[in-house]
Amino acid sequence: MTRIIAVASGKGGVGKTTLVSNLAAALSGFNRSVIAIDGNLTTSNLGLHLGIPLYPVTLQDVLKGKAKIKDAVYYHESGFRVIPADVSFENIMVPESEKMVGVFYTLAGDADFILIDTAAGLGKESLSTLKAADEVVVVTNPDRPSVTDALKVCKLAESFGTHILGAVINRVKKKRHELSVQEIENFLSAPVLGVVHEDSIVSEAIANSRPVVIYQPKAFVAQQFKAIAANLAGIEYKIRKPVFHKLFLWLK
């Protein structure tokens, strides 16, 4: 059965597109077939994260009835399929939830996972995707503003009957002032599916137009993304701590 999962957040810039591109690549690495959809039709950038900013046929063409879905599906070198959105100003659009449902259900059965990168916030654009998906992963940073906004997304998902799989805490710097996993779980009343640390290798990978799990597969953050993918797929995966970390613990 195809799992249709929206990756959402209340606050922008928390790491949704980064999570979608890395989950798609990591799940493909675990032999799961994945279609990643850029459901963010106002500030689309999944294609940019994947090194293909311009596509001849995009999700906008499908939603406008100008193209068939199969013409908007592209293969990424990491093994998954992508339905990109047009990045140009002229093609900004807010999709109707029913049309998104139509897209998802045409694709259902054709993949193990459909991952949708959504727009931030609680506007019509993100609502329609949240409504159309079956499950949602909420991305947050470990600070009060993003967790507060994440709670709103959880409440909305609940009201639509979209199952909340849990939260991913991204950009963790391990500072004392940051909210802990426990605090975030309590606040959202949802499990934390995984944690991803702050690491400049993530931005470096994006600048090189590749998910970090492909760009630097052994990096600690890459393993953290893979652990979340494994969690979603029900696979056992153990993160290997870097040698210097073990040495530090031993010295302590």
Ligand X SMILES: Nc1ncnc2c1ncn2[C@@H]1O[C@H](COP(=O)(O)OP(=O)(O)O)[C@@H](O)[C@H]1O
Binding footprint of Mg ion on the chain (CB under 5 A): 16-17
Closest alpha carbon to 196 in 19, 6, 13: 19
Tell me which of 112, 198, 209, 231 binds ligand X, using CB under 6 A: 198
| Distance of closest approach, residue 85 Cβ to ligand X, in angstroms | 13
Closer residue to ligand X, CB minimum distance, 69 or 213:
213
- The residue whose Cβ lies closest to Mg ion is 17
Q: Which does 25 bind (CB under 5 to 8 A by kind): ligand X, Mg ion, none?
A: none
Q: Residue 252 corresponds to which tokens in the numbers above?
A: 């302590």
Report the partner that residue 72 touches, choosing among ligand X, Mg ion, none (CB closer than 5 to 8 A by kind). Answer: none
Residue 76's binding partner out of ligand X, Mg ion, none, with CB under 5 to 8 Å set by partner kind? none
Question: Closest separation between CB of residue 1 and ligand X, Å?
Answer: 27
Answer for which of 72, 150, 196, 222 binds ligand X (CB under 6 A) is 196
Retrieve residue 88's tokens: 């140009």
Q: Which residues pair with 37 in a beta bridge?
A: 83, 116
- Work out whether 199 is an interface residue with ligand X (CB under 6 A): yes
SS3 234: coil
Sheet strands side by side (includes 163-172): 74-75, 81-83, 34-38, 113-117, 3-8, 135-140, 163-172, 192-197
Site for ligand X in 209-248 (CB under 6 A): 221
β-strand partners of 34 = 113
| Closest to ligand X by CB, 107 or 205 | 205
Give the total of residues touching ligand X (CB under 6 A): 18
DSSP assignments along 118-142, one per residue: --SSSSHHHHHHHHH-SEEEEEE-S
Distance CA 114, CA 95 (A): 17
